[in-house]
Copies of this chain bind each other. A is one copy, B any other.
Amino acid sequence: MTEPKLPLPGEDLGLFTDLYELTMSQAFLRQGMSAEATFSLFTRTYPVNRAYFVSAGLEDVLDYLSNLNFSDRSVDYLRATGIFNDDFLDYLLGFRFTGSVRAIPEGRLYFAGEPAVEVTAPLIQAQIAETFIINQVNLQSMLATKASRCVWAAQGRGVADFASRRTQGTDAALKMARASYIAGFNSTSNVLAANLYGMPPTGTMAHSFISSFDSELNAFRAYAESFPDRTVLLVDTYDTVAGTWNAVTVGKEMEAKGQKLTAVRLDSGDFDELSRQVRRILDESGLDHVKILASGGLDEYELEKLVKAGAPIDMFGVGTKAGVSADAPWTDMAYKLVSYDGRPVMKLSTDKVSLPGAKQVYRTKGAGGMFAKDIIAMAEEELPGGLPVLEEVMKDGRRVGPAATLEEVRRRFQEDFGLLDDRFKALSNPPRYPVGISGRLERLTSAVREEAMGVNVSDSD
């Protein structure tokens, strides 16, 4: 598929922005402020129990920037608000993004304070893109990070995305499917996501399927008849143990036809205890090849408990709590101006300090090739011994090189995750991965801070 997979109709792209991006832009245009600016996207602090982030969302950002425009319809609307002047509206009609983007590739790990994306473009272009860029990278990185915790907790057991029905909207459902696949999920229940992203779709049956038949046994039989190669029977509609015996009956009937029951699914109750009972029933009935899938209210914390307890569950279906990142449903991601017209700038507000200038992150390795420490440096610095993590992905408004495939991104994550010490993967209270600041960037930060304070003091005299 080569068409863009944007979460919005192309002609509406320009309007998906905060009003102030447009009012500021009109003021910039009026002041002739068309010099180059660099904005840096980063997450200030870790959400609870996190010590790393998984980069995701960049593909949508690049699609967005490649297609960003203001349609006639959009400009007509803006004109009708009465807020904007004709000069600015004319400017919007010819708007195209012509800038460049440096970013941490999707699938790679990054850490608090590090720029995940840096956009360099004429000021207005970089400004207008703010809302969409934060929205997508925040969501997708958050979901990929959450999903990676589930995969880690599952310790090699399969994990499938069942979140679509209770993600926060349709866009989030599609992004959850993709982000969780990057982080190692096996499949998604969302058919559109499977189609768009080329992922394996997965699914079993609902309670409604069972209850629309006159008996559970007949419901099981009907399903097995339609899908002899992929029958997963949901056994908890009335009673999990009795349901398992019905599954055994059908499993035996399938055997007699040379077919194999794939699995049973538990969706309520005490999974540890029930999975042991169900495993015993299946094994004693000669159905030891039938796998056990558990779903319903699961997240990484539940998965860890079940896996540590040794519950005989082969696959987990993970839904709502992962799909909304329930324990940390937002991150403190910001998109800050760090340079304008060659001048490094920064924000000094009490609790929201940012680092000035375009930056690079250098990752150093230690014993056994494991990640040891990151250094945030100025973009033009070279730090010997460190690998630069940000890559140029867009230049003059065009992508640099072809987009990575989803499988490549998934492998990139596995590679990076394997090089991160396990202690940073702890589900609760992990230690902080060390991130330092280069001497040059530190000196620049002090200098810009002093100058900014000076400017401000003289302003208020």
CB–CB A19/B191 < 8 A: yes
- Can you name the residue of chain B whose Cβ is closest to the Cβ of A449? B238
Given contacts A26-B226, A236-B349, contact A215 B268 (CB under 8 A): no
Report Cα–Cα, A326/B208, bound state, in Å. Answer: 31
Which of A6-14, A102-110, A357-365 participates in binding chain B? A6-14
Q: Please, which residues of chain B bring their CB within 8 A of the CB of A15?
A: 191-192, 195
CB–CB A346/B211 < 8 A: yes
Report Cα–Cα, A37/B207, bound state, in Å. Answer: 14
Given contacts A191-B16, A330-B324, contact A216 B456 (CB under 8 A): yes
Within 126-184 of A, Cβ neighbours of B (below 8 Å) are at 127, 130-132, 134-136, 138-139, 162, 164-173, 175
Say if the beta carbon of A203 comes within 8 Å of chain B: yes
Least CB distance, A342 to chain B, in whole angstroms: 12
CB–CB A321/B330 < 8 A: yes
CB–CB B135/A30 < 8 A: no
Least CB distance, A414 to chain B, in whole angstroms: 25
Contact of A127 among B172, B208, B335 (CB under 8 A): B208
Say if the beta carbon of A404 comes within 8 Å of chain B: no
Given contacts A191-B15, A456-B239, contact A352 B268 (CB under 8 A): yes
Given contacts A226-B30, A238-B348, A320-B330, contact A24 B337 (CB under 8 A): no
Q: Please, which residues of chain B bring their CB within 8 A of the CB of A206?
A: 20-21, 24, 127, 130
Q: Please, which residues of chain B bring their CB within 8 A of the CB of A412?
A: none
Say if the beta carbon of A277 comes within 8 Å of chain B: no
CB–CB B138/A337 < 8 A: no
Most buried by B among A39, A83, A85, A456: A456
Say if the beta carbon of A23 comes within 8 Å of chain B: yes
Say if the beta carbon of A123 comes within 8 Å of chain B: yes
Given contacts A222-B31, A351-B269, A456-B242, contact A166 B18 (CB under 8 A): no
Within 235-263 of A, Cβ neighbours of B (below 8 Å) are at 236-239, 242-243, 245-246
Question: What 0/1 readout, one digit per residue, does chain A (302-323) give for beta carbons within 8 Å of chain B?
Answer: 0000000000000000001100
Report Cα–Cα, A348/B267, bound state, in Å. Answer: 12
Report Cα–Cα, A16/B193, bound state, in Å. Answer: 8
Q: Please, which residues of chain B bring their CB within 8 A of the CB of A83?
A: 201, 227, 230
Given contacts A23-B227, A211-B340, A212-B37, contact A329 B168 (CB under 8 A): yes
CB–CB A191/B28 < 8 A: no
Report Cα–Cα, A133/B321, bound state, in Å. Answer: 19
Question: What 0/1 readout, one digit per residue, does chain A (195-211) give for beta carbons within 8 Å of chain B?
Answer: 10000011111111101
Report Cα–Cα, A97/B192, bound state, in Å. Answer: 19
Least CB distance, A350 to chain B, in whole angstroms: 5
How many A residues touch the partner, as a band? 35 or more
Least CB distance, A212 to chain B, in whole angstroms: 4
CB–CB A135/B167 < 8 A: yes
CB–CB B330/A166 < 8 A: yes
CB–CB A19/B202 < 8 A: yes
Say if the beta carbon of A347 comes within 8 Å of chain B: yes
Within 396-412 of A, Cβ neighbours of B (below 8 Å) are at none
CB–CB B211/A18 < 8 A: no
Given contacts A171-B172, A208-B337, contact A195 B77 (CB under 8 A): yes
Given contacts A31-B222, A165-B135, A345-B212, contact A238 B329 (CB under 8 A): no
Q: Please, which residues of chain B bring their CB within 8 A of the CB of A242?
A: 456-457, 459-460
Q: Which 10 A/B pairs are nearest by Cβ-Cβ distance?
A: A19-B203, A169-B171, A20-B203, A208-B337, A168-B168, A15-B192, A238-B456, A242-B460, A169-B172, A329-B329
14 additional A-B residue pairs with CB within 8 Å, beyond A18-B162, A33-B212, A269-B349: A19-B194, A19-B203, A20-B204, A23-B230, A27-B225, A37-B208, A81-B201, A169-B171, A171-B171, A208-B336, A214-B455, A215-B455, A269-B351, A321-B330
